[in-house]
Structure 1
Amino acid sequence: MSSNGSSVTLLDLPVDLLLLIFPYLDAASFLSLTSTCRALHNPDFVEDAMYWSDLVRHQFRVPNQPVVQNDGRRWKRLYKRMRTQSKIFSWGNDDKGCLGQSFDMPNLPGQRRPVMRRSRHISCPGEMEGTEQLGIISDMQCGGWSTSLLTSKGALYTCGVLDGLQFNQRRPPYMQQPKRQPTALRFPSGMPQPKDRYDPVTAIKQFSSGRSHVLALSDTGRIWSWQDIELPGMHVKFVHHSLTEDGRERGTGVVKKVVAGWNKSVALIEGSGIVVWEPLQLSPEECDTSDAALVLESTVVPRTRYVESQNRKTAEGSSEGEDVGEVQSFIVLEDSILFNTSLGKVFAALITWTDTAQTVSDPVELSIPAGGEANAEASFVTDIQGSFRNFAVFTKAGDVLTSEQDRVMPLLTNQHTNRRLFTRIPALQNKQVISLAFGDYHFHALHSTGEITSYGYEPQSCGALGLGGHGVPEGRLRGIRNRGIGGDGHLVPHAYTEGRRVWFEKEKQEWISFITSGGADPQEGAARVRMAIGSPGPNAQGEVSEWIEQEGRDWEGKFGIRGQGEEDDGLGAYFALSVSAAGWHSGALVLVNEDMAEKLRKAVEVPEHPPGEEPQEDVASSAQPSYESSRATPSTSDTAPSNETILDRAADWGRYFLGLAPYNVNDAAYDPNAAHLRTNTTARNQPGPSNRHNPQSQNFGASPRPGYKYIWADDHFPRLRLSDGTEMPGEVPFHEWRYGRPEWNLAWEDGE
């Protein structure tokens, strides 16, 4: 009731006041309030970005994503899906079990029982096992030999080993032993464990995986450090810095962020700046007898303590570090630290760490190329991301510029160089890129659409790009070419125009296996297959791989699933929330809409024949031994070839047919157990009912199970008109581009 006796309604309140009230409401109350009247039930209120982003980040501990922090609709949809749909996928080199995936069972002819072995390389995303009982996964990060997960309860889990080179175990072989499934990181005895009950001192709100250690920040603001999965974490304290551990977000001594680098630990502490120290290395005995470690040697990055809100003044009346600005984000590379500030600037500083001196140089500002843009947004840096030796900066104009530590070093050591500092990859510019995750030689981009694209190369065809085909043709149709003695998988130049997406749908893997084997008529498409994945030049491979990319881009729309049913919230069946990479492996936190995924599976499967029209088995074909019985019964003939000989002949024939003669595939990258080389490619096209129920057709992605075929079973290998005027050979009509042939930008490395 107002002073003049008139009543005041909720709508009479200023909008700013309403926005201040919303954060005090839970999701149910907020939606009920905005449904009370038409004035409140509009996107400005219902999809308020501040409300939903704050709710998702605090309730589920999801890291902030500055590029999309104002996208209220996206955060609202994420809130709904985070409760039940978060899954972890991993791929790449499975050194020390860091991928958290189970054993493979290879299918060798004549083998009486399967041999259990772990695949060293996994080239397609696979779901990490043992995560169902962990609850909601809110973040994941890869380390040098590990993959770590953070749950919505604030518990950390890790698989693999934290330090693959550390000899600090009490028992032989004295090295850290791999954990094949996610294992909870422990705290000192007597302290609450987050997996058991909540306590703000041990509940983790932000963490970082380095090459060989993990740093974490609890709800109270305490720093924890782990060097071994089997040893408890240590509370980090400093001699020269006082920390505030009362849960506040701002204030002197509050830790804003921690980063575990390649060989350093770093924290942004308000009032101190960016503090650097060596990762803790304690013996098992020391971990047993103490719950904290005192850091004696640390250093601060100069001119990083400035905080705009506090407005500290020096004797001259100017704010200390005012020309630098307040640190917004920072990264730790092998020998340097880079950070961006509130002024839109980015700086780099050199780390010098010896037994006698531990220093960080004065920051040097990096010049951001405008790229032909006249507005200030083109050079205003909003974020910086990177690890080991690679990094990227994001600008307000939507540009993403990549670089590496070697390009920065001349500036930090006062050496002259003509080398450009940044690279502008076409596929990353104004493509709604949220974040970049860098491994040793490969990196991924996460887009706001929930898609992940891959760049760089995978050493020894280890599968780090996540594009499939460990050294075999499926990966070539995605644009991978093998080079060198080790068979390193490099992307064709065409892949940097639009990017190559990581596929999570199993059906896409079946489809590309089918296309790789030659399609519906392998003999008719043989010349095109050889041209696309066996030619010394990359042009045909690059353009065909882009055609493949476009066909797989809108998989749900292509088969009429998008926009159908209440379960479609616009995020798709597979929506990547975050991506991480380190060393030779990668991982992603993906929201999986099982209802939509099941619809997709059903949409691509059709009966081979309508009911009542099944052909009769003929006597000749039914008298032949089945595929299962023939491969399960070893030959006893003295003249019968060995399993190795059968595989070698199949491999040789496959190489010849696919144009993969030795000039293009070396032994290190060649996998004789590939499904498309274990059977005769033409067998699945032979007439007769026996072929319809033969598992051979399943090896080629033509049939999911007996009596059914995939919807693409009659498709041919693509025949295209290439951009240089070349017409691919064949008798089938030319295939059209789903989104039009791109304007190739193959010289992007030479331009700005």
Structure 2
Amino acid sequence: MKFEDLPLDILIDNILYDLDTQSLVRLSGTCNTFRRLIDDELLWKHRVLTDYNLPLDASFRHTGWKRLYLKLEDSVVYTWGENMDGRLGHPCEARPVRGRIRGGARVARRDDRFASPQELVSLRGKGIVDIVSSGWGFHALDRHGRVWLWGRMLDGYGGQILGQRPVPEPTQVQVPSKIQAISCGRSHAIALGSDASVWHWNNYQIVQRILIEGDPTIVQVAANWGYSSLITSQGKLVRVDIPPISTNPEESLPDLVIPATSGVTLQSIEANAKNNSVPLKPIEKGDKIVQIAGLEKCTLALTRYGRIFKIWTELADPLMLVPATLTTELTKYGATEPEINDRDATGNNKKMHRFVSSQFRNFAVYTASGSVLLGHQDETTAESEPEVLEQLQHDICKVTFGDYHCGALTNQGRLLTWGANSNGAIGDGTMSMFAERKNIPEEITTLRNMFVFAIGFGGWQSSALAIPRD
């Protein structure tokens, strides 16, 4: 039997996915059949996730994986918006301010705002593959699993507490493990290691490991605004309090051990609903939580069969015994036809038909058909109709949110922004924080020559990762 005569499932699953990139390129040149097979987006997604450490939950990307693979080594980091505490990583220049006189001389103040994307040159060549924002700063993940931090993590400025001290340039966080995914709340970050270890911190010098009794496998971490959420491979959702605050850079923190009895599953929510006579559509056999997104007070949960639940994790007790009254199924955001959402760290032949992302009080639900459904933590109820923006109903793979501004990324590498300007955070070159709110998403034209592949907004600041288009 000839090599090309092998059954497609054996050829793809057992051969092509195990070949390195050079072998794939050589094989694609042998015949049209292999060229078509090797141009497959899922195959290049597998190679990107494997070779470049791109987080599985970074976006709902469907296309562009081969382009990413060829140029991810040359990723460029951009930040813009408010920079008063060095959160953008750019130096601030002193400039005179007209009309402000003190002691007979003009007072110079620091220019602390950037109204359009500026390259963060200090991260050039670092191979940055993901970026997320906290309340007053950023974290970036590189292809080697290192985490970089800049800006300020805790409220208050320049105090004795480590996280209050501004970090003006990207600085490596002292995480012992290779990291594969990061998430930020208002004043803390949490990370998932390649070895399934979990770490969190509120300054770059001291990190704390999180352990769950019984050693369940953690598949995703998501920072809420003032705590964090985890899910296990069995679909259990676990809440984690923020790390302790420290003033001593030499301090080490003991492991935070979460009891095995902590957490909530779809089945425990269903049982609680029955016990309290709360209406809830029955949980089907085999359904479980497969993806989460952290909000200020809630955790958004996507199930294997495409149901969306908003769980008020902030009000749950320490063991995450969530009353049924704190769980709302968002029926208008979930699947209306049968679908299967399966996670696979390699991206190998498994597909998410639905996807969720969030920041602060806003969230987005994406569908495989291309729809993007927007919602709000406090305003979206069980029967709420999703907010639908016409400009986001095609080709969108990621939506991110600041306090008052929003951004959306297309599969083709275009970045759209809308909302309040927040001292330049929209990125259109205008500066005033009092500018009229933009209700229609518009492309940032200064990035048209770049293929944007990741975005992270927060507070009054914005960020993007891009590679050259040519």
- Give your verdict on TM over 0.5: yes
- Asked whether 1:332 is paired with 2:304, we answer no
- What residue identity is the alignment partner of 1:77? R
Alignment-derived partner of residue 718 in structure 1: none
Q: Is residue 139 of structure 1 aligned with residue 81 of structure 2?
A: no
Measure how far apart 1:397 and its partner are. Answer: 2.9
In 2, Cα distance between the equivalents of 1:30 and 1:132?
29
TM-score in terms of structure 1 length: 0.53
Task: Quickly say closer, same or farther: Cα 1:328–1:264, change in 2 above 3 A.
Answer: same
1:377-407 C-alpha deviation (Å, 9 max, x unpaired): 9xx9711111211111122332211111112
Compared with structure 1, are the counterparts of its residues 16 and 233 closer, same or farther at alpha carbon in structure 2 (3 Å cutoff)?
same
1:263 aligns to what? 226
Aligned partner of 1:121 among 98, 113, 123 = 113
Q: Which amino acid aligns with 2:89?
A: G
Shift of 1:351: 2.6
**Deviation string, structure 1 residues 654-699 (Cα, Å, up to 9, x no partner):** xxxxxxxxxxxxxxxxxxxxxxxxxxxxxxxxxxxxxxxxxxxxxx
RMSD: 3.2
Residues 421/281 of structure 1: CA separation in 2 closer, same or farther (3 Å cut): farther
The corresponding residue for 1:713 is none
SS in 1 for 2:312: strand
- Structure 1: how far apart are the matches of 2:226 and 2:137? 15
- Letter matched to residue 207 of structure 1: I
Contact 1:351 1:359 in 2 (8 A): no
Match of 1:365 in 2: 329
Q: What secondary structure sits across from 2:403 in the alignment?
A: coil
* TM-score, length-scaled by structure 2: 0.83
Deviations 1:184-215 (A, max 9, x none): 0014xxx5xxxxxxxxxx11011111111111
The answer to whether 1:227 aligns with 2:199 is no
Mapping for residues 217-616 of structure 1, pairs under 5 Å = 217-229=192-204, 231-238=205-212, 241-243=213-215, 253-271=216-234, 273-284=236-247, 288-290=251-253, 292-295=255-258, 299-303=262-266, 321-322=283-284, 325-353=287-315, 359-362=321-324, 363-368=327-332, 382-408=354-380, 420-429=384-393, 431-459=394-422, 462-471=423-432, 487-491=434-438, 493=439, 496=440, 499-505=441-447, 573-593=449-469, 596=470
Paired residue for 1:194?
Answer: none
C-alpha distance in structure 2 between counterparts of 1:577 and 1:143, whole Å: 19
| Aligned-pair CA distance for 1:444 | 0.4
1:89–1:126 contact (8 Å) kept in structure 2? yes
Matching residue's letter, 1:61: N
Partner of 2:172: 184
Q: Work out the CA distance in 1 between the residues paired with 2:134 and 2:261.
A: 23
Contact 1:340/1:381, CA 8 A, preserved across alignment: no
Q: Distance in 1 between matches of 2:20 and 2:163?
A: 48
CA distance in 2 between counterparts of 1:304 and 1:456 reads: 39
Pair 168,186 (structure 1): closer, same or farther in 2 beyond 3 Å: farther
Higher strand share goes to which structure?
2
CA separation of 1:580 and 1:94: change in aligned 2, threshold 3 A: same
Match of 1:694 in 2: none
Query: Does the Cα contact within 8 Å between 1:327 and 1:339 map onto a contact in 2?
Result: yes
Cα separation, 1, equivalents of 2:121 and 2:97 = 25
Q: Distance in 1 between matches of 2:234 and 2:338?
A: 30
Deviations 1:262-302 (A, max 9, x none): 01111111236010121111434596244533346984234
* Alignment match, 2:6: 13
Question: Which structure has the highest helix share of the two?
Answer: 1
Is the partner of 1:463 in helix, strand or coil?
Answer: coil
Please report how far the alpha carbon of residue 227 of structure 1 lies from its aligned counterpart in structure 2 after TM superposition: 1.1
Q: Distance in 1 between matches of 2:310 and 2:86?
A: 35
Partner of 1:57: 49
- Map 1:93-108 onto structure 2 (within 5 A): 93-104=82-93, 106=95
Instruction: State the distance in 2 between where 1:159 and 1:292 align.
Output: 25
SS at match of 1:76: helix
How much has 1:352 moved relative to structure 2?
Answer: 4.5
1:26 corresponding residue in structure 2? 20
Structure 1 376/18 Cα, relative in aligned 2: closer, same or farther at 3 Å? closer
Report what 2:343 is aligned to. none
Note the alpha carbon deviations across 1:30-80, whole angstroms, 9 max, x for none. 111222234323x2x1212232101101211112366434x3xx2111111
Equivalent pair of 2:151/2:168 in contact (CA under 8 Å): yes
* Percent identity of equivalent pairs: 24
CA offsets per residue over residues 418-453 of structure 1, 9 Å max, x none?
x94421111112x20101001111110101110011
Aligned CA distance change for structure 1 residues 108 and 157 (closer, same or farther; 3 Å): same
Aligned to 2:342: none
Instruction: Find the partner of 1:159 among 139, 146, 150.
Output: 150
The structural deviation recorded for 1:91 is 1.0
Matched letter for residue 8 of structure 2: V
User: Are 1:158 and 1:184, in contact at CA under 8 Å, matched by a contact in 2?
Assistant: yes
Higher relative contact order (CA 8 A, sep 6+): 2
Matching residue within 79, 85, 105 for 2:69: 79
Shift of 1:29: 1.0
Q: Aligned partners of 2:333, 2:210: CA distance in 1, in Å?
A: 40
Matched-pair contact (CA < 8 Å) for 1:458–1:490: yes
Unaligned runs of 5+ in 1: 1-7, 192-201, 244-252, 307-319, 412-418, 472-485, 506-554, 556-572, 597-752
Matched residue SS, 1:392: strand
Residue 324 (structure 1) shift: 8.3
Give me the whole-angstrom Cα distance separating, in 2, the residues matched to 1:305 and 1:374.
23
Residue of structure 1 equivalent to 2:187: 212
Report the AA paired with residue 269 of structure 1. T
CA contact (8 A) 1:234 1:287 kept: no
Output the CA distance in 2 between the equivalents of 1:490 and 1:434: 24
Gaps of 5+ in 2: 99-105, 270-281, 340-351
Mean alpha-carbon deviation: is it higher for 145-154 or for 8-17?
Answer: 8-17
Cα distance change on mapping 1:407 and 1:324 into 2, 3 Å: farther
Distance 1:356 1:271 in 2: 20
CA deviation string 1:351-378 (max 9, x = no partner): 35488886433332212179xx99889x
State the shift of 1:490 in Å. 0.9
Opposite residue 97 of structure 1, the aligned amino acid is G
Verify the 8 A CA contact 2:235 2:290 in the aligned structure 1: no
| Number of corresponding residues | 435
Confirm or deny: 8 A CA contact 1:437 1:445 kept in the other structure. Answer: yes
Q: Shift of the alpha carbon at 1:132?
A: 2.3
Q: Cα gap change, 1:443/1:299 in structure 2, threshold over 3 Å: closer, same or farther?
A: farther
Over residues 588-612 of structure 1, what are the superposed CA-to-partner deviations in whole Å (9 max), with x where a residue is unaligned?
011135xx5xxxxxxxxxxxxxxxx
Letter in 2 for 1:126: Q
Give secondary structure in 2 for the equivalent of 1:235.
strand
CA contact (8 A) 2:360 2:403 kept: yes
Matched letter for residue 365 of structure 2: V
